[in-house]
Structure 1
């Protein structure tokens, strides 16, 4: 398939040459990059342990992708209006393409390892920029063709025209190129306007926000949309439809297959969809590509070209240091507190895995809220929720944040740096663990609960404050139980684990069950304000006692990083020397 893409690419050599791209160098760079892609195992299915040599079945991945494409293709039969059906199809198709680009684009477009090979060679910036764009294009085209294959077949069935399937292939290619162009423009424009370190942070937060958006769309959109209205919707009667790329793509089907319904507007939109990727590629090459190589070099060193001479500044304590001195007065515990929040604030991998959970909690609450009361209007559902005690469920649902942060705050790709813990004269590592847990609760979980509490007080009234306090301490107990039985690791001291062991999963379920019992007990006494206030004192005392016990964890209770080594060192036999 790679050879086919490279041969098709040669037909664009005249256009690329006029844009200042060395086509000979371009084809050679792409050939080597694609060869390296085929040799590299898919990290999505890679295992940390060497004993399990499976790296994922590409045929199974292809089957899952085609199955996803089949369900998206059902939208072509959703309405009797072909323009609307194709618009809905390509909206989801392009969202999935953009999501794939966002997750993979950083490792492909911003991969600076090949700079050591290309920089000493006479390769211009435009050739390198176009090679990266075409590399990700070919990578995504593989996915697009597999995902779009069911849609190609189903388009012919929906329109009862074989030529519609061939046109659908052109539309899928058009949607893929537009998705690539959109993400390209965003990434390259940011690279020209912000410094390298800031650019990396923006990309990380963009990926977090985008994954949260996808989660919200998947769960909430079907609950918020009236599909009966969508089936009879006339898209072109709304002004905003004219600026949506999926409408441009869908217009091609309306202009060619349904020629009897063609208008000047539909024809113009179809032409716009065909011309936009070409104009966008020219804009990227001519405007954004110059200086591309220099920006990548700056990214690799996390310094901009105009970096000023660094002046050594005296460290000043911020509010988190003051919080650490108050919450963790013990020196060792204070060190555990500080190293936890500092490493968590600086580690992008931790942010990418932990921060989306903050958005998942309100989304899941809205999902469960909208799922109740079938036949009710939106106003009736919200009135029912406001009149009940479902706010208790919202606070306990926030344990997703606590469990996610506790899981990932002990994991790191650079876990071998944890030797420093064992080199320090620390007799009781439990103090580091209690400092870590206090950092998680104080800097992440407590602010999140306070924000939820403010919103709950506005919706349900100030009488819910005692319920928020009680549920907070119960969640703290859950976090300590999870840390005792499921985490068992110092901050950022263990390798990234893809799955839990059986015993650890059982411990997590038992812990969740115990907290669930406490939560149901809280739900039954929620009507009695005095009982809730009185329950806070013993629950808080239990939480403090458990945290004190957690601080007495010994070295024997911990799981060291050596237990997770990917490859154990082989035993070296002592050589036997024979004497003559």
Structure 2
């Protein structure tokens, strides 16, 4: 097997590792196996590959293919660098995109590496100390992030060197390294705090939520960059504000602005110094706490006592109110609890939901620039339709699970039609996934726009219920929680586009009714309520018989 170049590079520093009490030969062997497993793992960026394309990628190096895709993303940053001379503004955007991509990749793929405890069963019975294991993991992580960062950063590096000269790489490359160090250290320190406070299954759930929160924070942090500049007579001017020192992309754009735009004020110097000293201090703290981090990772091997029965009675009441038949109620409860407990499902669905909730308010606050709250019309409530754009993705994800072997359940249930299964599943999805997100948005909309938007909000929710049924038909009604995540198929991309066009049509019809018809909000609400009652009553009446199940499974698989 051809060895990774990082191993050959590390061989030159064997003495340095040995002097620090690290068993270099053991560390190298561990790292070699980790890198080999990386080459066989399907990266999140390519997780939607399927069919013959998937087989071709399995025959080649999957990681190399994902790096090419990251490099293509980096090419989109080249025009930002080449067009214009607003150095601080341009490179703040560039660094924002680079850090967004790297942090997203780290959260999606790298957390499983940082928090991996599966090798404990082998290493704990071998004469390998924690320092050696920690060094192997740290180098593995750093190499993983460096390959992604260099792939994204190479096109901007070439463009910047062509525009600004040979000195550019000496400012840009250290920024790439320092941003990676900061990302590793901050992520590890946050996880260390969580590991210290929680145990077992509760810890795994909390880490899942932290990954989602970090994804949202990275997206919002990127939005802050553009809002720190004013466009005045086609000139971008930085508005120095205290909170900008908390946004890392400014730190790494500051040396470039200092060098190429003569922005050498005290404020720019402080930002540049933060970009150097904060990552170094964070890494030093991480190294000091590394033994404690490895110790607390043992908690991930502990199994909690499981979810309690608190709230079970309330859930039973909800199921009784939502479901007419006992079998439908049983599948409602099954789906509701599965969506609550399955971490893989939550990690894939919750970020989509969170982004669809945040996007309307980004548009709203962007419109407020230069205006006041009095300028905001109640028609802004129609931005709530953006949240429904997540419905097709959530519906598509309902068929996947971490434990597909449990699908034997469908063989054991004596049903003549699967209509009751789908009816219970989609009702559970609306109550468990969509309703909490919608209520959160509705409360904010009422606070911002007033109570008069309540009828429109209810009408939007009813539109979402209809949209869910239409999405379920177009995306295909395969058995829920019956396929592995590795089988995710992007073939329905055009269907998603059609569904988004349909959603725009629903929003447009609602808006026209409100603007042109007296009491349009209440009329829309009444019509949508009637359509929902009829659609939910008859949408699943023609469910497939069990004799047709084999054919549908072969098509959906």
Flag whether TM exceeds 0.5 (same fold).
Answer: yes
CA change 1:529–1:224 in 2 (3 A) is farther
Given that 2:418 and 2:545 are in contact with CA atoms closer than 8 Å, whether structure 1 keeps it comes out as yes
- Give me the whole-angstrom Cα distance separating, in 2, the residues matched to 1:314 and 1:523: 44
Query: Aligned with 2:118: secondary structure?
Result: coil
* TM, length-normalised to structure 2: 0.81
- Residue 181 in 1 paired to residue 182 in 2? no
Cα deviation, 1:524-577, whole Å, max 9, x if unaligned, reads 3314454543554453233122212234323356677842697xxxxxxxxxxx
The match for 2:418 among 429, 432, 442 is 429
Look up the match of 1:563: 554
- Rg: which structure is higher? 1
Given that 1:324 and 1:337 are in contact with CA atoms closer than 8 Å, whether structure 2 keeps it comes out as yes
Q: Distance in 2 between matches of 1:471 and 1:246?
A: 38
Following the alignment from structure 2 to structure 1, what is the Cα–Cα distance between the partners of residues 306 and 53?
A: 49
Q: Which residue of 2 is the match for residue 296 of structure 1?
A: 297
Q: Is the 8 A contact 2:160 2:168 kept in 1?
A: yes
Partner of 1:576: none
* Corresponding residue number in structure 2 for 1:570: none
Whether 1:53 aligns to 2:55 is yes
The CA deviation at 1:155 is 3.8
* Alpha-carbon distance in structure 2 between the residues aligned to 1:424 and 1:100: 41
Q: 1:89 to 1:17 in 2, by over 3 A?
A: farther
CA 1:495–1:118 in structure 2 vs 1: closer, same or farther (change >3 Å)?
closer
Report the 3-state secondary structure (helix = DSSP H, G, I; strand = E; otherwise coil) of the residue aligned with 1:192.
Answer: helix
Partners of 1:367 and 1:312 lie apart in 2 by 36
- TM-score (norm. length: structure 1): 0.78
Partner of 1:101: 106
Q: Does 1:33 align with 2:28?
A: no
Matched with 2:488 is: 498
Distance 1:280 1:530, change over 3 A: closer
* Whole-angstrom CA distance in 1 between matches of 2:124 and 2:282: 26
Q: Single out whichever of 192-201 and 333-342 deviates more from structure 2.
A: 192-201
SS of the counterpart of 1:226?
strand
Partner of 2:201: 197
- Supply the distance in 1 between the matched residues of 2:246 and 2:423 (Cα, whole angstroms): 54
Deviations 1:28-82 (A, max 9, x none): 2222322332344546435454685232887765454334334446666688686
Deviation at 1:140, TM superposition (A): 1.4
Match of 2:325 among 323, 330, 338: 330
CA deviation digits over 1:218-251, x for unaligned, max 9?
678647842559844386xx66666665566567
| Alpha carbons 2:459, 2:528 under 8 Å: kept | yes
- 2:367 aligned with 1:379, yes or no? no
Which residue does the alignment assign to 2:136? 131
Greater mean alpha carbon deviation, residues 121-130 or residues 336-345: 121-130
Provide the residue aligned with 1:571 in structure 2.
Answer: none
Alignment: residue pair count: 547
Distance 1:243 1:513 in 2: 39
Q: Which deviates the most, 325-334 or 45-54?
A: 45-54
- Pairing 1:146–2:137 present: no
Output one character per residue of 1:270-302: Cα deviation in whole Å (capped at 9) or x when no partner: 77755665654443333332461x433431343
2 CA distance for matches of 1:86 and 1:534?
A: 51
Cα distance change of structure 1 residues 270 and 23 upon mapping to structure 2, 3 Å threshold: farther
Q: Partners of 2:143 and 2:425 in 1: how far apart?
A: 44
Contact 1:152/1:165 (8 A) holds in 2: yes
Contact in 2 for aligned 1:80/1:231 (Cα 8 Å): no
- Do 1:428 and 1:555's aligned partners in 2 also have CA atoms closer than 8 Å? yes
Q: State the match for 1:577 in structure 2.
A: none
The reply to whether residue 350 of structure 1 matches residue 345 of structure 2 is: yes
Partners of 1:513 and 1:90 lie apart in 2 by 33
The Cα of 1:464 is off from its aligned counterpart by 2.9
Deviations 1:375-423 (A, max 9, x none): x95416x655416x342x3343332243333222232232231111221
Residue in 2 aligned with 1:546? 535
**Counterpart mapping for 1:124-523 below 5 A:** 124-160=129-165, 162-216=166-220, 222=226, 225-228=229-232, 231-233=236-238, 280-290=282-292, 292=294, 294-302=295-303, 317-366=312-361, 377-379=369-371, 383=374, 385-386=376-377, 389-391=379-381, 393-496=382-485, 497-499=487-489, 501=491, 505=494, 517=505, 519-523=507-511
Whole-angstrom distance in 2 between the partners of 1:547 and 1:334: 15
In structure 2, what is the Cα distance between the partners aligned to 1:137 and 1:262? 32
Name the structure 1 match of 2:119.
114
Question: Closer, same or farther in 2 for the Cα pair 1:2/1:253, shift >3 Å?
Answer: farther
1:89, CA displacement in angstroms? 4.3
**CA-atom RMSD in angstroms:** 4.2
Contact 1:354 1:408 in 2 (8 A): yes
**SS of the residue 2:127 aligns to:** coil
**What is the Cα deviation at residue 323 of structure 1?**
1.1
Using the TM superposition, give the Cα deviation of residue 141 of structure 1 relative to its aligned residue in structure 2, in angstroms: 1.3
Deviation at residue 335 of structure 1 after TM alignment: 0.4
**More deviation, 150-159/471-480:** 150-159
